[in-house]
Structure 1
Amino acid sequence: MRISLLGGTGDIGEALALRWAYDTHHEVVIGSRDPERARTKAEEYETELRSRDVDRKVTGFANGMAADRGDVVVLAVPPYQVAELVESVAEKLSDTVLVSPAVGMSRDEEGLHYNPPDVGSVTQLVDAVAPEGVPVVGAFHALSADRLANLDLAVDIDTVLVGDDPDAKDQVARLTTDIEGVRPLDGGGLANAPEVEAMTPLLVNLGTYNDGLHDAGVKFQ
């Protein structure tokens, strides 16, 4: 399986790239608006993996070329960039599953607050701008990028998946299970994305107000 992480030079892109490369044999592709930055970060990820005796190839390309190579394409960019990004690579997305981990949030003196777009959630926004026939799955919203990127730390967390295409959701669930210590849970259709995305500002606020919870995650029992 080839996984392309568009915006894979940022926090969540780095975390997922390292974990998939470390825990699995899937091919990991990094995308960026700047192809040189993508190649540089891919080399940095390879160096990090080699320091743990893992010899894995990670490649870097411009976002369009990365999208063209992906069986699964993860939109690892801030929420205000997702629509423009999808539209810019739309012609490269045939036979692809789109994955959206972005969450709309605003900040004031009290902390972070859920701030979805007019369509209800960032995941639904991605679905609205995705080419016809390209399934969208919301996933990885409430994961701590810092903890996931630290390969010295074990993880034991859940992530809730939402999507209207059962096959696409199953595919993303299998890729999620491949990351050691991350369990996918089915949260239903895309209409349920607002409830899932809203957990992210809650977790960040818990980390702000409580010692030892800066990289809090969710485990359902």
Structure 2
Amino acid sequence: MYKQLYVIQEGKPELATIRSYNTADFEQLIDVQRQSFPPPFPEELWWNEEQLREHVARFPQGALCAEVNGKIVGSMTGLIVALDDYGHQHSWSEITDEGYIRNHNPEGDTLYVVDICVVPAYRKAGIGKWLMQSMYETVVQLGLTSLLGGGRMPGFAQHVHQLSAQQYVDKVVAGELKDPVISFLLRCGRVPIGVAEQYLEDEQSCNYAAIMQWKNPFKV
């Protein structure tokens, strides 16, 4: 994957590159994680070099980064799974092999999102949406059925005593509440199809995640 496009940063167009990441990018990729997921997000869930080596070796088409002015400002990683092997009630560590993707199955039907992150300074520039669009293109190119992934629910902790996780997602979809992650995924064309318990150690989400899908429109 390699393409260039303009994003709008603080009202000004800036040329961005979406490309596959490689071993030379590891230090920057880990720094992007550090900026994107500050405490209380667990530090041990940031990428390490061994995980990144597995990504580029096993499924380079699913290892994407966004670069502006020679600096990486976002990344997205995926693997292919056979969805019937996992179903919708799965954990992040189970379906991603704790981020190492050694369970990547080239014969599978679903591109599963391991991670997407953008540094705070570029979150309103459209970087995340372009990374997601690029992964949709990979789904189409490989003839997969869909893209799937668990979306964090960082606003849920504020409502956990009044709403169930499913009710919270329903209210976000209805426009009654906004959630930084779920609302973003909705804008990217993802559709919630379930809620997973104990998906990821995440205080803000109370360990829940919305399982959200994008179907390949060319695979009816």
Q: TM-score, normalised by structure 1?
A: 0.32
Give the structure with the larger strand fraction: 2
Q: Give 1 or 2: higher helix fraction.
A: 1
TM-score w.r.t. structure 2 length? 0.32
